[in-house]
Chains A and B, each alone.
Chain A
Amino acid sequence: MAAVSAQGGRSGGGGGSSGAGGGPNCGTGSGRSGLLDKWKIDDKPVKIDKWDGSAVKNSLDDSAKKVLLEKYKYVENFGLIDGRLTICTISCFFAIVALIWDYMHPFPESKPVLALCVISYFVMMGILTIYTSYKEKSIFLVAHRKDPTGMDPDDIWQLSSSLKRFDDKYTLKLTFISGRTKQQREAEFTKSIAKFFDHSGTLVMDAYEPEISRLHDSLATERKIK
């Protein structure tokens, strides 16, 4: 059950999708998108329980995502996340098939189908564990910078972070993969989370954003020098 409990702590988080329902309303008074506007709270400052390690990590990750996507206008690539969602969906599908089949044909006849579903389910769990450990590797954002000339392939920026249990040191790593030369460069910083949160648990963007920008610019300028 280790794989399941490891994912349980990650709530995902994401203030980055400001385009979801809020687009320009032409004054026709569409009540539905108005409700969606009120539901989404992208602009409210982030307040979390400062003693909850996973909430802290998630909120820091989300804010880093927000900075990169909104300030530098990169486009998020959902490939990794979609892969994980697909594997989980297929596993649940096997479970549901087993449940329904067993309900329709009571036990002794359903034995071969059940055996197949159970084995497939655990194989999918194994695949999921391998996927999250080796392919995803704590990366929570993959963003593309579309080349303005439209000729060269996109540059890729990857964000990954780690925060140990009961520790206050948060490490954020930014990786830049150049589209043209396929070179990879990374920069990271490790800071105490106390630097970014105030005593009530509100994330202070004014302290956090310069850090992200500094990481970003350190990678961007190197490229220009080369």
Chain B
Amino acid sequence: MLSLDFLDDVRRMNKRQLYYQVLNFGMIVSSALMIWKGLMVITGSESPIVVVLSGSMEPAFHRGDLLFLTNRVEDPIRVGEIVVFRIEGREIPIVHRVLKIHEKQNGHIKFLTKGDNNAVDDRGLYKQGQHWLEKKDVVGRAR
């Protein structure tokens, strides 16, 4: 039998203490998870904290900046606001500014975005045949 000295502490524990160790680990993980879910509930956004991945919003946001998002659906989206949206079929959200908005009487909105540091608007990034974004694509707003 291998005599592994570092396991001595574990071997000396009885069932309750082993279970407590497992629980301790579980609680640390759960605390982190609950804080994340709690933030999700409070801000209303699927992803309350995001990292800026590209330099397309310089000089406002640089690569590596953390953004704290909110997603109040009652507030209307206005031109000039910075929104974080997800394009259908793509996992990674994009942080850009709203350029143009078409608004219908019933409140339905179509909008176009562009990164501050980009030369052209985002139509090149959207899905094939998609020219406008809608409210459902929005993950949150950076205020």
Contact = CB atoms under 8 A, between A and B. Distances in A.
* Secondary structure type dominating chain A contacts: helix
Contact of A17 (B14, B20, B26): B14
A115 interface: yes
Interface stretch (A83-91, A182-190, A214-222): A83-91
A130 interface: no
Given A98-B33, A111-B41, A92 B8 contact: no
* Secondary structure type dominating chain B contacts: helix
Nearest to B73: A108
Contact of B41 (A96, A99, A118): A118
A107 interface: yes
A22 interface: no
Contacts, number: 100
A99 B9 CA distance: 32
A222 B131 CA distance: 90
A16 B15 CA distance: 11
Contacts of B17: 11-14
Contacts of B23: 85, 88-89, 92
Contacts of B44: 111
Given A11-B17, A78-B16, A85-B19, A95 B40 contact: no
Interface in A58-114: 62, 78, 81-82, 84-85, 88-89, 91-92, 94-96, 98-99, 102, 106-107, 111, 114
A42 B33 contact: no
A121 B34 CA distance: 7
A179 B9 CA distance: 35
Contacts of A38: 1
Interface of B: 1, 5, 8-9, 11-17, 19-21, 23-24, 26-31, 33-34, 37-38, 40-41, 44, 46
